[in-house]
Amino acid sequence: MEKHFNTYEYQQDRPASSPKRGSSIRSVPRWIYRHLPDVIIYGYAFIYMYTGWAKFMNMAAFIKGNSKIPYLGQYAKLIGYGIPSLEIMLAILLVIPVYWIKRAALWASTVLMILFTVYLSLMVKFVENKLCHCGGVIESMGWKTHIAFNIIWLIAGIFALVRTKVIHSKI
């Protein structure tokens, strides 16, 4: 448990060159670093809820687009209902304040982001008619931007997994 002291009354007696004067400036990056895993987890929850809901709102177009994907087109309905359901379920699980549920959902979210990134990379490399039905604003990104976006979130997910394990082991 952290103890908070009223430092205002003591700061008046200290000289201007006191080493404590810049401590609040240095504490902001530490606070951000400490809370960054939570920001990443809630970011994943937002992205998955947003894209899952967008796919459900345009379900017919999403299934029709999936039917055109080489090798996966025969599973268009399964993918069409499964992916948005999975995304929304993960978004809900990521905000439940139980450590092992949140951590499992973060693992699943990171693995799903790996799959999405591999899918996009394969589409860019091997398919002429590139198909992306991610939903909303994310769908309107260029291919390289979309892959970079996924890679950034993938790295963020791995960082959050490592940091949440470290934070939880200190408790």
Q: Is the pLDDT assigned to residue 13 strictly greater than 90? A: no
> SS3 breakdown of the chain: % helix, strand, coil, rounded to 5?
75, 0, 25
- Classify the C-alpha dihedral 131-136-142-144 as positive or negative: negative
The reply to whether the predicted model has a pTM over 0.85 is no
Measured in whole angstroms, how far is the alpha carbon of residue 50 from the centre of its chain?
A: 12
Q: Which two tokens stand for residue 117?
A: 């990134």
CA pair distance 88, 69, nearest whole angstrom: 23
For 110-124, how does the pLDDT look when each residue is reduced to its tens digit (9 = 90+)? 999 999 999 888 888
CA pair distance 94, 96, nearest whole angstrom: 6
Position 169 scores a pLDDT of 58
Measured in whole angstroms, how far is the alpha carbon of residue 114 from the centre of its chain?
A: 12
For 49-104, how does the pLDDT look when each residue is reduced to its tens digit (9 = 90+)? 999 999 999 899 888 888 887 778 889 899 999 999 999 999 999 999 998 999 99
Q: Is the pLDDT assigned to residue 148 strictly greater than 90? A: yes
Q: Is the pLDDT assigned to residue 39 strictly greater than 50? A: yes
